[in-house]
Each structure stands twice: as C-alpha cells, then as structure tokens.
Amino acid sequence: MLNELRDTIHANALAHGFYDDENVNIPEKLMLIVSELGEAMEAYRNNYYSDWEGYNSLIDRDIENGAFERLIKNSIEDELADTVIRVLDLCGYMKIDIDQHISLKMKYNESRPYKHGKLC
C-alpha cells in the first residue's frame, strides 16, 4: 500500500532533479523531515487548518488557479503531508520496504504494555 505511494513519490522527486547529485546527503534529508514537522507545529500553534469546505466548493480546483495556495498551503494538514512525502521519498531512495516495516512495528507495538510502562 505505502510502497506504491513511495515509488510514485520517489519517481516524482527523481524527475524534478532532487537526486541529480550522486552524493545524496541522508542526514540533510532526515532534517528536512524534522523541519516539516516544525512547520506543522507552527501551523498548529497558529490554528491554521486547511479550508476544505472553501476548496471543495470551488468549481475550478486546478493548482494553477491559486486555490491551493490560498486555502490549503502551509496548513497543518499540508505540512503533515509534506512530512509523509519526504519520509516516503527517502524510503524510495533507500529501497526500504515501508509496508513490511510498519506491519512489523505495529505487531511489536501491540505486544507492549499500556503506555509502554511509562507514566505519560
């Protein structure tokens, strides 16, 4: 499920030149993921959510008409989407079977105690 999205996202990144340099900086890519989470936090702190009703009420929702930038861009939802996109892109580059790893991690988490034995 996510592997298919991973491949689509990574192919788009390749097509847009994000891997033209043969020396891919993995730490930088990881920090860009963190920066997207920081942007999501700022959107949350500013109570900035997407205006889905406004966006969906438009007849013309083409990206080029500016509706995305006015009603969606930089919202918490948009920044979380950016985070997932960056994670899946990196998984694509590193050839990580993210479906397998998420499934395995979920099984492990199900075996853990309530709150993993922590107070909070």
Structure tokens given for 41: 């936090």
2-22 CB burial, b ≥16 within 10 A, e <16: bbebbeebbeebeeeeeeeee
Q: For the segment 45-71, what is each residue's pLDDT rounded down to a tens digit? A: 999 999 999 988 887 777 767 889 999
pLDDT-based confidence at residue 38 (cuts at 50, 70, 90): very high
Q: What domains can you pick out in the chain, each with its CATH number?
A: 2-117 (1.10.287)
Structure tokens given for 100: 């397998």
74-92 CB burial, b ≥16 within 10 A, e <16: bbbebbbebbebbbbbbbb
pLDDT-based confidence at residue 119 (cuts at 50, 70, 90): confident
